[in-house]
Structure formats: C-alpha cells, structure tokens
C-alpha cells in the first residue's frame, strides 16, 4: 500500500470525474506518493498547518497507471533522504486502486501523526 496526501475537496472532485489527478501530474508528469514510513516526514514539511486533508490509501496492484519508485525531489527546504525511493504514479489514479480514504488532521501545533487506520 502506498499513500497520497490530498484534500477532501480534491478527492470529491476525483469521484465525480472518475479518476484522481493531482496538480503535480500536469506540472511534473507524475503524482507524488509515499510509503507509510515516509508519509509523516512529507506531511510535516509540505502540508504543515493545513486543514481539510485526507490520505488516499492506494493498492499498488490495482493501479492502471505506471508506478515507479524513484529518488525524491527536493521541495523548498524539504530535502528528503536520497537513500529512500519514493513511489511516483505516472498517470491518473483510478478510483478502484484507492482502497481507503482516511481523514488527516493536523494537531494544535500544525503537525501530523500517522492515523491509526494506516499503521500496519
């Protein structure tokens, strides 16, 4: 299972359209995802203090778009470790690949912790 952080609003839009397409798909050519071990570091650097977020839990075997594990891309001051490969989806995420959607609230200080529903 891989994870993608998005907003509830974007997920609702995807359900209406029949597939999920993050802004990065058009801008960078792929959708950024994380493993459960990578998700919190990513969330706390990229999404700190944001509200209305959800985590899409994606079954890799159900994806119809190409999935490649690649070296991370630095975003702003976020410089992830290059020794860990991140999952990138080259195309839309088909709805059947999303096996669970979990609410992802920040705590009072704006930081995130992995929801119990995702801890394996």
What residue segments make up the domains of the chain, in order of their start?
2-103
pLDDT digits (tens, 9 = 90+) for 7-59: 999 999 999 999 999 999 999 999 999 999 999 999 999 999 999 999 999 99
Question: What pLDDT score was predicted for residue 83?
Answer: 62
* Residues whose CB falls within 8 Å of the CB of residue 3, separated by 6 or more in sequence, listed in order: 33, 34, 35, 36, 39, 55, 56, 57, 58, 118
| Maximum distance among all Cα pairs of the chain, rounded to whole angstroms | 38
Question: What pLDDT score was predicted for residue 84?
Answer: 83
Q: What stretches of the chain show up as alpha helix (H) in DSSP?
A: 8-17, 23-28, 39-46
Class of domain 2-103: alpha beta
pLDDT beyond 90 at 120: no
Residue-averaged pLDDT of the chain? 91
R_g (Cα) of the chain, nearest Å: 13
Give me the percent of the chain exceeding a pLDDT of 70: 90
* Residues whose CB falls within 8 Å of the CB of residue 100, separated by 6 or more in sequence, listed in order: 57, 117
Question: What pLDDT score was predicted for residue 75?
Answer: 53
């Amino acid at each position: 299972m891989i994870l993608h952080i998005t907003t509830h609003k974007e997920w609702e839009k995807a359900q209406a359209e029949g597939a999920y397409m993050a802004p990065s798909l058009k801008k960078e050519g792929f959708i950024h995802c994380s493993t459960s071990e990578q998700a919190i570091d990513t969330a706390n650097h990229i999404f700190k203090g944001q509200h209305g977020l959800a985590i899409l839990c994606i079954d890799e075997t159900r994806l119809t778009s190409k999935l490649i594990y690649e070296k991370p891309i630095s975003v702003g001051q976020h410089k992830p470790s290059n020794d860990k490969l991140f999952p990138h989806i080259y195309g839309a995420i088909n709805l059947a690949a999303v096996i669970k959607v979990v609410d992802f609230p920040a705590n009072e200080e704006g930081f995130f912790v992995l929801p119990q529903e995702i801890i394996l």
